[in-house]
Amino acid sequence: MTKEKQQILVAFKKAKSLTEKIINMTEDGRYCVDIMQQNLAVIGLLKSAHQQLMANHLNSCVVNALSSKNENTKKKIVEEILKVNKLASK
């Protein structure tokens, strides 16, 4: 596993752990602002992981697809990026 993928995995595992903490905090009736702060931390971790995944994808899969002579492959990879970008901006 590459260093980049290890960093992404660490971010996902931290987000998972914090999410479990948020669930417990909510079940315990903890103060709303404390829960929101933890929630924002999870969102930050997931956004960071998403950006790292996108960078890896652009630097590997997209570069390879765009250097291909197959126009369908190029079109498909561009459509995929646009779709993910649209989902991320919602």
Domains of the chain are 3-88 (1.20.58.1000)
The yes-or-no verdict on residue 90 having pLDDT over 90 is: no
Q: How far apart are the C-alpha atoms of 79 and 73, rounded to whole Å?
A: 10
Asked whether 22 and 42 are in contact (CB, 8 A), the reply is yes
Q: Report DSSP letters for 11-23, one per residue.
A: HHHHHHHHHHHHH
Which runs of consecutive H residues, i.e. helices, occur in the chain? Answer: 3-27, 32-57, 63-66, 71-88
The Cβ of residue 51 has, within 10 Å, a number of other Cβ atoms equal to: 13
Residues 10-60 have pLDDT tens digits of: 999 999 999 999 999 999 999 999 999 999 999 999 999 999 999 999 999
